[in-house]
Amino acid sequence: MKLAEALTARADLQRRIEQLRARVTSNARYQEGEEPSEDASALLVEAQGALEQLRELIRRINATNSRLSLGADGTMTDALAARDVLRLHHSLLTDAAAAASGSHGLRQLRSELRQIAALPVAELRQRADAVARELRELDNRIQEANWTHDLEE
């Protein structure tokens, strides 16, 4: 199984567990004289099995990520951490540029004091574009590794 397939299986298991949680909670109580639509105990057993599968899958994904080398990007774990930080950095820069440009829909009346940008908007947007490009390139390398490397036992 490729790492990308394991990531898809993990997402599927997480969705299934969430659905089971909803079904358990909606059938945990029922009105006297009626039958619940599903057996909450059986659903809990099914959820426990799915949780055990998820635990094993996450363990294998994490083991693979910690050993998988992406060259200059370090291990897959290093690359994932870098990607998370790049996403935050991009968000910070774009939010700062938007706030400095006054593009939050505020209108200035003639009687109000003039608002001045405390940050260089054009420079912030250029930096945000550079970070976005770096993020896309790193994400492409991560995705390539996901599809070319097998999941470890």
Kindly compute the dihedral angle of the four CA atoms of residues 51, 54, 55, 56, in this order, to the nearest 10 degrees: 130
Cα distances from 42 to residues 10, 21, 72, 114, in angstroms, run 22, 12, 49, 66
Calpha distance 129→118 (Å, rounded)? 20
pLDDT of residue 113: 75
Q: For 3-39, write each residue's pLDDT tens digit.
A: 999 999 999 999 999 999 999 999 999 889 999 899 9
The pLDDT, as a whole number, for residue 114 is: 77
Q: Is the pLDDT of residue 79 over 90?
A: yes
At residue 108, the pLDDT reads 58
* 105 pLDDT above the threshold of 70: no
* Angle between helix 3-27 and 40-67 (nearest 10): 160
The model's pTM is 0.82
Least confident of 17-26, 60-69, 99-108, 140-149: 99-108
Q: What are 3's two structure tokens? A: 């790492």
